[in-house]
Amino acid sequence: MNSRGNFAPHLSLRFDSHMFSIDTSRSPKKCLQPDAYLITHAHSDHYGKSAMLSPLAIASEETARALEIRYGREYKGRTFSVGESILVGDQVVETYPTGHTIGSVAFFWENDVGTKILVTGDVKNHGSLPPCDLLVTEANYGDPWDPACRFDDDITAFGDAVDSGATFGAYAFGKAQRAVALIRGLGYGDEIGMDEQSLALTQELMPQFGPFTPAEDNGTDITDINVVTPWNLPRMRGMKYVLTGRKDLPYPRIILSDHLDFRGLMKMIEEASPEATIVYHPEGEKANRLALYLRDQGRDAISVSEVEKSFYK
């Protein structure tokens, strides 16, 4: 296991005869190659941009397509439908939806000695995740002592904004599709204006949620609904909101997260009831703090950077 250096920014897990690299970039040719590069979803901090170029890559159909649209490259690996099992050599790997982005999954397998391993990726809904012995979890909002890690989605404010017409600033992959699904869920049936990359991704990955139209053509009608990347907000007219966690933008913010907050993460861990937990993403303080908190609660837990420290000392 190594998260240092350029070649494996996330995590490789090796048990007996199998080694899986999860959310890592490709290893240099001279290094030990994994059995597979498992890509949990198409966000850039999970390194699919690199792993997608390996025939050893494994990702959901939606994740593979999202990577192709985002990076203009051909996905070289294998794909599966979310929820399907895949065979890597003689190892069955199960997949479970996590509700974080279109096509996002957690991976689950049982190793040669019967240890059940669950690697979460980023998670919004943990409801379908199975119990496990070793949990490898994200901790994007895992700092128990940071008030910003406790939040509820503000669906009411979002619904009010949709009712009166608004432009929402949301990143093109993930948040933009979440916004579109919610807008349709609230009963809005007219065209949704979107800027270029959001439109390309949403049109292809969620065609049933149309109609969509390029945001630039949407004119000045204040009943219009638009979803654009935050840096395109200044070009839009009418009421504007940001749906990101960024606080440096001069628009009111509506909380609509793609992640579990700290309480959600704890609930997920409780339900997975692992014997041990590795906190693998993101690197740094948040992961360390979640691991520390879990140990305080009497659980076996360690973060990847703590593993690294003990490895290199």
Non-local CB neighbours of 217 within 8 Å, separated by 6+ positions:
193
| Least Cβ distance, residue 120 to Zn ion (angstroms) | 11
Q: Which is nearer to Zn ion, 21 or 226 (CB)?
A: 21
| Least Cβ distance, residue 68 to Zn ion (angstroms) | 17
Phi-psi category of 199—alpha, beta or left, where left has phi over 0 and alpha has psi -120 to 50? alpha
Question: Residue 302's beta-bridge partner residues?
Answer: 278
Residues in contact with Zn ion by CB under 5 A are 43, 122
| Least Cβ distance, residue 89 to Zn ion (angstroms) | 28
| Least Cβ distance, residue 98 to Zn ion (angstroms) | 9
| Least Cβ distance, residue 110 to Zn ion (angstroms) | 26
Question: Shortest Cβ contact with Zn ion: which residue?
Answer: 43
Q: Which is nearer to Zn ion, 122 or 224 (CB)?
A: 122
Q: Which is nearer to Zn ion, 63 or 91 (CB)?
A: 63
Q: Which is nearer to Zn ion, 23 or 143 (CB)?
A: 23
Q: Which is nearer to Zn ion, 91 or 104 (CB)?
A: 104
